[in-house]
């Protein structure tokens, strides 16, 4: 019940494409859903986060879509750039920063 | 604002040896996390501190791993004795406070441990 599932494992898109990464969770106590971006040799960095009171959140080229009834959420990257090539992790936690779990990650490659 | 500092960046040890990692969180952050990230996987929480108290250590292999945050600031994570499967990146993160409006966790660059 603590698991967060993430797909695909890897993704290759052309520059300007819209990669979509999907995550699913089981624990209904989760109510904070961040996405982290990690470059090789670096720690994960928060990209965007959503709480279940909204179905969508946009920040720049990054959009989270959230489906509370299906317990699924996804990350869309608009107009993707080679600099977006990184590993993306979805995560879930409760409102009090506890039970914080990460998905297994998606390695994204954006070709020039 | 200074980020989360970790040292060392890299460590190579033989199995059955001991090793310690150090973390200095962002100033003012009450919550500190240690994660283990095995190559190709997502970070796995080992232990979470709120100030100098342990909030969650359910996934910490307590027979060999220990962690402390004595003064509620810096923290150390120790492995004794190390096993081959402990080879991973150990990430420290900190956040403002449990229950704060923002629960964003800021990560350090990690310590890459190789056990041979």
Put simply, the answer to whether A45 touches B95 (Cβ < 8 Å) is no
Query: Can you give the pLDDT at residue A95?
Result: 65
- CA-nearest of B45, B8, B44 to B23 is B8
Query: Can you give the pLDDT at residue B105?
Result: 85
Q: Is the pLDDT of residue B49 over 80?
A: yes
Put simply, the answer to whether A105 touches B33 (Cβ < 8 Å) is no
For residue A1, name the pLDDT band (cuts at 50, 70, 90).
low
Give per-residue pLDDT as tens, B56-110.
Answer: 899 999 999 999 998 889 999 999 999 999 999 999 999 887 655 566 889 999 9
Taking CA–CA distances from B30, the nearest residue in chain A reads A97
Residues of B in contact with A44 (CB under 8 A): 43, 91, 107
Q: Which of B33, B97, B103 sits opposite A32 (nearest CB)?
A: B103
Query: Can you give the pLDDT at residue B109?
Result: 95
Query: Can you give the pLDDT at residue B99?
Result: 59
Put simply, the answer to whether B99 touches A96 (Cβ < 8 Å) is yes
A25-29, A101-105, B63-67: segment of lowest average pLDDT: A25-29
Across all residues in chain A, what is the average pLDDT? 92
Residues of A in contact with B107 (CB under 8 A): 36, 43-45
Residues of A in contact with B31 (CB under 8 A): 97
- Quote the minimal CA–CA distance from A111 to chain B in Å: 21
- CA-nearest of B30, B14, B42 to A35 is B42
Give per-residue pLDDT as tens, B11-28.
Answer: 999 999 999 999 999 998
Residues of B in contact with A104 (CB under 8 A): 40-42
Using DSSP bridges, classify how beta strands B111-115 and B10-13 pair: parallel, antiparallel or unpaired. Answer: parallel
Query: Can you give the pLDDT at residue A8?
Result: 97
Q: Is the pLDDT of residue A69 over 90?
A: yes
A67-71, A99-103, B45-49: segment of lowest average pLDDT: A99-103
**Neighbour-count burial of A83, counting CB atoms closer than 10 A to its CB (0-12 exposed, 13-18 middle, 19+ buried):** exposed
Q: Which of B55, B56, B104 sits opposite A46 (nearest CB)?
A: B104
Q: Is the pLDDT of residue B48 over 70?
A: yes
CA B6 to chain centre: 9
Query: Can you give the pLDDT at residue A96?
Result: 62
- Quote the minimal CA–CA distance from A101 to chain B in Å: 7
Residues of B in contact with A43 (CB under 8 A): 4, 91, 93, 107-110
- CA-nearest of B98, B75, B94 to B29 is B94
What are A45-49's contacts with CB under 8 Å, separation 24+? A45/B106, A45/B107, A46/B104, A46/B105, A46/B106, A47/A75, A47/A88, A48/A75, A49/B104
Put simply, the answer to whether B42 touches A95 (Cβ < 8 Å) is no
- Both tokens of B91, joined, read 């990430």
């Amino acid at each position: 019940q603590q698991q967060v599932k993430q797909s695909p494992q890897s993704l290759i898109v052309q520059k300007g494409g819209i990669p979509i990464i999907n995550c699913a969770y089981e624990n209904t106590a989760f109510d904070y859903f961040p996405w982290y971006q990690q470059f090789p040799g670096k720690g994960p960095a928060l990209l965007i986060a959503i709480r279940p009171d909204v179905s969508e959140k946009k920040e720049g080229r990054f959009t989270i879509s959230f489906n509370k009834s299906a317990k699924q959420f996804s990350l869309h990257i608009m107009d993707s750039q080679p600099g977006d090539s990184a590993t993306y992790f979805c995560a879930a936690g409760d409102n009090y920063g506890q039970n914080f779990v990460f998905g297994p990650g998606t390695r994204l490659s954006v070709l020039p | 604002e200074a980020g989360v500092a970790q040292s060392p960046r890299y460590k190579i040890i033989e199995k059955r040896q001991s090793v310690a990692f150090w973390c200095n969180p962002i100033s003012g952050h009450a919550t500190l996390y240690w994660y283990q990230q095995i190559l190709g996987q997502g970070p796995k929480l080992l232990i979470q501190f709120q100030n100098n108290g342990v909030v969650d250590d359910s996934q910490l292999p307590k027979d060999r791993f220990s962690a402390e945050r004595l003064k509620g600031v810096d923290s150390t994570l120790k492995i004794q004795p190390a096993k081959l499967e402990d080879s991973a990146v150990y990430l420290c993160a900190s956040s403002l406070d449990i229950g704060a409006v923002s629960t964003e966790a800021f990560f350090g660059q990690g310590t890459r441990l190789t056990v041979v």
